[in-house]
Amino acid sequence: MTSLEHCQALDAKDPLRPLRELFSLPAGVIYLDGNSLGALPRTAAARVAHAVTQEWGDGLIRSWNSAGWFDLPQRVGDKIARLVGASAGTVVATDTTSINLYKVLSAALTIAAQDVPQRKRVVSERSNFPTDLYIAQALCQERGYELLLVEAEQIDAALLADAAVMMLTHVNYRTGAMFDMAGVTAMAHASGALMVWDLAHSAGAVPVALEADNADFAVGCGYKYLNGGPGAPAFVWVHPRHTDRFWQPLAGWWGHAAPFAFTPEYRPASGISRYLCGTQPILSMTALDCALDCFLAVQDCVPAQDVMAALRAKSLALTDMFITLFDERCAGYELELVTPRTHAVRGSQVSLARTTGAYAIMQALIARGVIGDFRAGAAADTGKSEGADILRFGLTPLYLGFADVWQALEHLCQIMDSGEWRDDKFNQKHAVT
């Protein structure tokens, strides 16, 4: 049986342990929901306050130039590029993941209409995050395409034979299962389809190599593992072979080659800047910019290592510890592990399925300060426990330790042994789960 002392010893020799101090986490909280809303970096409050009082208050309109507001989407994009295997100048931080997905899927369909006009199908995973599927549904309707939704295991070359575009989320938000980006992209290309990746649960959590893996388009989220704060700008990447081929559909003035020329005709900027649309949320973008510097600090802890490789090693050690403790202690609770045990196909979360009571169990955990989250009716598409709900635990290597994982499992066991989750107060649903 793995002991708390063993976990504390692992924390003591963890080279990334000092990074926890970069975050402001409330006392008594074990935060396992950084995959939904990342924690607050300690420097963010002062940095945003500076942007409000000095840059906005004193600088006023001058700050678009003097405080560097104008090219903030590109500068923040460059910081993200390093974490997702993209070159400088190929990523911008802007808008939301949903909106960016609309832009890239639209651009991909435009390219496909030209290159493979007979193909009228977009393929995605049935258990993809719903907003991705909704955006795809709307675009397919608008453009006369069919959206084909399949299970992850069904994706193969034959299925893609008449697909224009395949759109997948790299790490599944419910199960934590991760696709082989290189292999799946190569399969799509060999079949003649373009490949769009959503990195919402990957950026800042697992190594991503967009260029090396030869993806076509990618979007991702700023407020999950990147810790940019609630509603932080998302990001968009387009492979340079495509960027200048087409306009993106939301051709606003910020994507214009010369926005301040105020010409009546749209002329897109060259490069990824054309994926901007309108004026950016500078205060949110400032918080995201600040949060990304936490990733630079990884290099101070493990100088010889790549940032994401170092974070990945710890992330896997944390999810392994969670799974080990689950195996050792949670038999008999009718909980089922739905996250893959195989490292190569595991993201940075652990999900447990239960046919009944998952919501109340999570509420009971939250009442004890162990914050994860709940996702409804999940496991039908995992091939296990049909209809079961999911308890989701995001394990963020920047600020979590092994003793945190041990304590979280200890609380879970106590809640299951005592049956306290059956209390009425844990069974009342809130708007946001």
Ligand X SMILES: *Cc1c(COP(=O)(O)O)cnc(C)c1O
Taking phi first (over 0 means left), then psi (-120 to 50 degrees means alpha), and beta for anything else, what does residue 237 get?
A: beta
Active site residue 426: no
Q: Which is nearer to ligand X, 191 or 248 (CB)?
A: 248
The helix-helix angle for 282-296 and 72-83 (nearest 10°) equals: 30
Which residue in the list 33, 78, 198, 289 is annotated as catalytic? 198
Report the alpha-carbon distance of residue 2 to residue 216 in Å, rounded: 44
56 token code pair: 């906005």
3-class DSSP assignment, residue 241: helix
| Site map 144..183 versus ligand X, x via CB under 6 A | -------------------------x---x----------
Whether 174 is catalytic is: no
Distance CA 14, CA 190 (A): 42
Is 198 a catalytic site residue?
Answer: yes
Binding residues among 372-391 for ligand X as defined by CB under 6 A: none
Interface with ligand X, residue 294, by CB under 6 A: no
Site membership for ligand X, residue 351 (CB under 6 A): no
Residue 337: helix, strand or coil by DSSP?
Answer: strand
Stretch that binds ligand X, among 51-59, 129-137, 270-278, 371-379 (CB under 6 A): 129-137
CA 323 → CA 353, 386, 418, distances in Å?
A: 13, 21, 22
Number of residues that bind ligand X (CB under 6 A): 13
Residue closer to ligand X by CB (options 124, 191) is: 124
Stretch near ligand X under the rule CB under 6 A, chosen from 90-98, 186-194, 277-285, 325-333: 90-98
Q: Name which position in 55, 132, 336, 381 contacts ligand X (CB under 6 A).
A: 132
- Restricting to residues 184-213, which ones interact with ligand X according to CB under 6 A? 198, 200-201
Catalytic residue of the set 23, 31, 102, 129: 129
Backbone φ and ψ for 149, nearest 5 degrees, come out as -105, 130
Stretch that binds ligand X, among 69-77, 93-101, 110-118, 177-185 (CB under 6 A): 93-101
Residue 93 as a binder of ligand X (CB under 6 A): the answer is no
Kindly name the residue from 224, 314, 346, 368 that is annotated as catalytic. Answer: 224
Question: Residue 185 has which token pair?
Answer: 């992209």
Burial class (CB within 10 angstroms; exposed 0-12, middle 13-18, buried 19+) of 424:
exposed
13 is catalytic: no
Size of the chain in residues: 433
Distances (CA, A) of 172 to 6, 38, 188, 194, 327: 31, 17, 19, 20, 22
Q: Which stretch binds ligand X (CB under 6 A): 104-112, 126-134, 300-308, 406-414?
A: 126-134
State yes or no: residue 96 binds ligand X (CB under 6 A).
Answer: yes
CA pair distance 401, 184, nearest whole angstrom: 33
Please tell me which residue in 213, 275, 392, 402 is annotated as part of the active site.
392
307-329 vs 4-12: helix crossing angle, rounded to 10: 170
Indicate if 246 belongs to the active site: no
- Tell me which residues are annotated as active site: 129, 198, 223-224, 392
Contacting residues toward ligand X, per CB under 6 A:
96-98, 129, 131-132, 169, 173, 198, 200-201, 221, 234
